[in-house]
Amino acid sequence: MCSENRGANIVFIFFQKVFSGKKRVFKKTANSVLLFLSQRIAILHLSDIINMVKVQFEYLIKCSPKVLFNRLSTASGLAEWFADDVHVRGKQYTFVWEGSEQVAEMTLRKQNRLVRFNWVDDPGSYFEFKISQVELTGDVALIVADHCEEDETEGTEELWNAQVADLKHILGS
């Protein structure tokens, strides 16, 4: 988010806090200012307020990079383990979990090596799958990068452990 919008958001929050408990005249003025600002600034993203951190997890997968990449980059592959259903329109992927939908855009794709999805409702936040193969042993590793709140790293790790366990089961790994 650009610094102008960040500054406008700070002003917006300042007016909310300063005028919320004041007399009726101030409340009316504050509401007018808030309405004016809300119509002219970008939506305030939670990642701008909450301290988000990048987390990375690595998993050994017993299959070829090509087979793994298919499960990480296609709607049918992702629907097998990542979400209940996945719809694709161009680079927009709609992930469905228990009736709830989230939309991400595939912003990076390197054949058999890397896939990155940026959340549409929070452009600064993304998750990615990187495939690494050790040349000497032939072992294939899946490296998952994601973002979460600082105090939710353990929960995020548990979630990815469960997701990747499903992926391994599907792959017979």
Same domain, 69 and 122: yes
pLDDT in tens, 99-148: 899 999 999 999 999 999 999 998 788 999 999 998 888 899 999 999 99
Cα-Cα-Cα-Cα dihedral of 155, 53, 104, 43, to 10°? 110
Same domain, 25 and 54: no
More confident residue, 44 or 155: 155
Q: What is the CATH number of the domain that holds 54?
A: 3.30.530.20
pLDDT in tens, 72-97: 999 999 999 999 999 999 999 999 99
Distance CA 26, CA 147 (A): 40
Q: What is the pTM of this model?
A: 0.70
Structural domain boundaries enclosing 152: 50-171
Same domain, 29 and 66: no
| Amino acid (one-letter) located at 3 | S
Distance CA 26, CA 169 (A): 61
More confident residue, 34 or 132: 132
On the question of pLDDT at 170 being above 90, the answer is yes
